[in-house]
């Protein structure tokens, strides 16, 4: 693995973002609007709820963590889409870069966009709504790692889907985090879901993260066992996502679809 090539993939994304203000809308503006919206909802709920429950920490904190997950997923796929939209995808693989180096560059690009967006959201939530993670402390670190791994796995699967069915399949990618949100139990306990949704929830690493954090906010002991299950599922998701991507890439090469990569490719 050549780290200079990985750096080149990341550097290209940074140059694209620097050269176009519109590219900052997705990783910065939309998450900021979400935090403002959920912040005022949480503030209002706090005025009508019992004084012992902190809605700002429960709702606004959950929204922030879910945005971190979404930015990780979208960050990897957006870097890939930039190559697709500019018809640069084939040019990349005419260079010495390998598929592993390219994928690593996309993953690290997703990490950068997630960190930048999350840092802005944390500062805004703290300055405007007084959100504090003092109750969670360093426990937030393993939770963020699990959400990041899950987000990257989802992003890699999205890239594989586009490789298989063409650029127009990107419309399947944008709603993926929103479709998963009800099953991940971001804003409510898993127990409130019907049994079949609980079964789906048990397969998502994010549900274990939010259940563990809710326990801390409610004053119950933090469950390292649940977090370990979430971490194991997240690692498995990464492995399966990389396997899926490899299969789709090899199929695109073998069938010649990769040579006909255009906006009309959908077969």
Q: What is the mean pLDDT of residues 156-169?
A: 82
Q: Where are the domains positioned within the chain?
A: 3-260
What pLDDT score does 48 carry? Answer: 46
CB 213 within 8 A of CB 188: no
Residue of 69, 77, 150 whose CA lies nearest to 109? 77
What pLDDT score does 171 carry? Answer: 76
* Whole-number Cα distances in Å, 39 to 115, 150, 189, 247: 20, 25, 20, 42
Give per-residue pLDDT as tens, 99-140.
788 888 888 877 887 787 778 777 777 776 666 666 566 777
Share of the chain above pLDDT 70, in %: 74
Q: What is the mean pLDDT of residues 249-255?
A: 81
What pLDDT score does 56 carry? Answer: 60
Radius of gyration in angstroms for the set of CA atoms belonging to the chain, rounded to a whole number: 19
Instruction: Using the Cα atoms of residue 153, residue 158, residue 164 and residue 167 in order, give the sign of their dihedral.
Output: negative
What pLDDT score does 259 carry? Answer: 65
Q: How far apart are the C-alpha atoms of 189 and 233, rounded to whole Å?
A: 19
Q: What is the pTM of this model?
A: 0.78
What pLDDT score does 114 carry? Answer: 79
What pLDDT score does 233 carry? Answer: 96
Give per-residue pLDDT as tens, 44-94.
555 545 555 556 666 777 778 888 888 888 877 887 887 777 777 777 767
Please, what is the average pLDDT of the chain?
77
Residue 208 has pLDDT above 70, yes or no: yes
DSSP string for 186-199: SSS-GGGS-HHHHH
Q: What is the dihedral of CA 166, 170, 171, 172, to 10 degrees?
A: 90
How does DSSP classify residue 58?
I
């Amino acid at each position: 693995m050549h780290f200079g090539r990985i750096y080149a993939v990341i550097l290209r994304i940074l140059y694209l973002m620097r050269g176009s203000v519109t590219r900052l809308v997705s990783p910065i503006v939309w998450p900021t609007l979400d935090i403002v919206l959920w912040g005022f909802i949480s503030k209002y709920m706090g005025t009508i709820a019992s004084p012992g429950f902190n809605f700002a920490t429960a709702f606004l904190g959950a929204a922030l963590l879910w945005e971190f997950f979404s930015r990780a997923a979208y960050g990897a796929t957006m870097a890939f889409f930039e190559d697709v939209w500019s018809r640069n995808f084939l040019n990349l693989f005419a260079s010495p870069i390998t598929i592993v180096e390219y994928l690593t560059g996309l993953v690290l690009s997703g990490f950068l966009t997630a960190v930048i967006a999350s840092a802005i959201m944390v500062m805004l939530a703290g300055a405007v709504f007084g959100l504090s993670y003092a109750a969670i402390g360093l426990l937030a670190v393993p939770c963020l790692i699990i959400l990041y791994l899950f987000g990257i796995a989802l992003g890699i699967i999205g890239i594989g889907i586009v490789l298989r069915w063409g650029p127009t399949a990107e419309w399947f990618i944008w709603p993926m985090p929103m479709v998963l949100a009800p099953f991940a139990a971001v804003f409510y306990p898993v127990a409130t879901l019907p049994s079949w949704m609980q079964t789906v929830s048990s397969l998502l690493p994010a549900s274990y993260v939010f259940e563990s954090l809710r326990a801390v906010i409610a004053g119950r002991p933090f469950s390292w066992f649940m977090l370990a299950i979430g971490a194991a599922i997240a690692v498995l998701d990464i492995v399966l996502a990389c396997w899926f991507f490899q299969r789709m890439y090899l199929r695109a090469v073998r069938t010649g679809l990769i040579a006909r990569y255009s906006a009309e490719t959908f077969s």
